[in-house]
Amino acid sequence: MNKKASAKSTNLRALKGQALSGNKFDLPTQGELFETLKQLRFDGRVELRESKGDRWTIYLHLGRVVYATGGTHPVKRWQRNIITYLPELTAQLAGETSDLSHMTAENCNRCWQYQLLYDWVKQGKINRQQATKIIWSTVVEVLFDITQAGNISYELQPGESSAQGIILIDGTRIVAEVRRQWASWQEAQATDFSPNLAPVIRKPEELQQSTSANLFEMLNQMLSKEQTLRDLAFNMKRETLSFTRSLLPYLQSGLVELINIPDLPNQC
């Protein structure tokens, strides 16, 4: 083993199993980690765990990000991105459950969403640009959720690359975009409100008294469907922060409360 390879192996051993507990896996830490993994040309996964149970996986090849998944609602996230970036093919692709039935258990456990994107690009059903937009949006959302979560620990799992030729993204570029979004949430004083939670009316009589009849009826209909802030903003074609900001007075007063809801069934 040459000196360069030996140094890489030593650095990976030092990083593997490294954990951050008691603090948020913040943006500076993310940027430093991705820069280090890029320099080491790391192949494998970063496995992250939040103290309350959420888990995420970030896949890398040669130190660049391939894909990310996990968290509270990976299937909801996938569905929103498919509708957003493949609108003309949504019905066709949503019905192609046979694509999933041919996957091996290894592919399903690894990352069925990425595997589907790769297969669709290879078959000519979508182009590389469409797949890239879905991957970028997915990874940014995952890192945003990781940034918002607390008590994150991570572990590196070196292994065979999952990359199959769609795109390799510099992780520091993703961190820069998440930093921009997070700064906007901080400015709006909305960082305590997870976009993965669903708003429900907790005090209907007080809400009715403090709003107009039309506004109360609109809120009553909109917030009775148990959809997350991200889902509701998506359905209304609004940015998630803009929609969340419109609900802040009701959330801060306790008239509206955020609750956990389950993800859609996993197709794989």
Say whether both 41 and 135 belong to one domain.
yes
Note the helical H segments in 16-127: 27-40, 74-85, 90-94, 98-101, 105-123
Residue 106's pLDDT band (cuts 50, 70, 90): very low
In a domain, 267, yes or no: no
- pLDDT reported for residue 4: 53
Distance CA 87, CA 121 (A): 16
Q: Are residues 130 and 179 in the same domain?
A: yes
User: Is residue 11 domain-resident?
Assistant: yes
Does any domain span residue 38?
Answer: yes
133 and 252 within one domain: no
| Banded model confidence at residue 250, pLDDT cuts 50, 70, 90 | very high
Q: Tokens representing 170?
A: 């510099």
pLDDT band at 20 (very low <50, low <70, confident <90, very high): very low
**Residue 145 domain-assigned?**
yes
Q: How confident is the model at residue 163, as a pLDDT?
A: 66
Please, which pLDDT band fits residue 213 given cuts at 50, 70 and 90?
very high
Is a pLDDT exceeding 90 seen at residue 260? yes
pLDDT band per the 50, 70, 90 thresholds, residue 266 = confident
pLDDT of 138 over the 70 cut: yes
Residue 192: inside a domain? no
Where does 62-148 show beta strands of DSSP type E?
64-70
Domain that holds residue 180: 3-187
Q: What is the pLDDT of residue 42?
A: 95
Give the model's confidence band at 36: pLDDT under 50 very low, under 70 low, under 90 confident, else very high. very high
155 and 249 inside one domain: no
Residue 244, domain member (yes or no) = yes
The per-residue pLDDT for 101 is 42
Total structural domains within the chain:
2
Decide if 76 is inside a domain.
yes
Select from 134, 152, 187 the last residue of a domain.
187
Among 236, 234, 133, 142, smallest CA distance to 181 is for: 142
Task: Tell me which residue of 180, 177, 154 sits closest to 42, measured CA to CA.
Answer: 154
- Token readout for 113 is 């969403």
Within this chain, do residues 217 and 104 fall inside the same structural domain, yes or no? no
pLDDT of residue 108: 44
Mean pLDDT of 170-180: 97
173 & 229 share domain: no
Smallest CA-to-CA distance from 230 within 113, 125, 105, 80 is with: 80
Residue 265 lies in a domain: no
Query: What pLDDT, on the 0 to 100 scale, is given for residue 105?
Result: 40
Q: Would you say 113 and 75 are in contact if contact means Cβ atoms under 8 Å apart?
A: no
Considering the domain architecture, whether residues 170 and 145 belong to the same structural domain is answered as yes
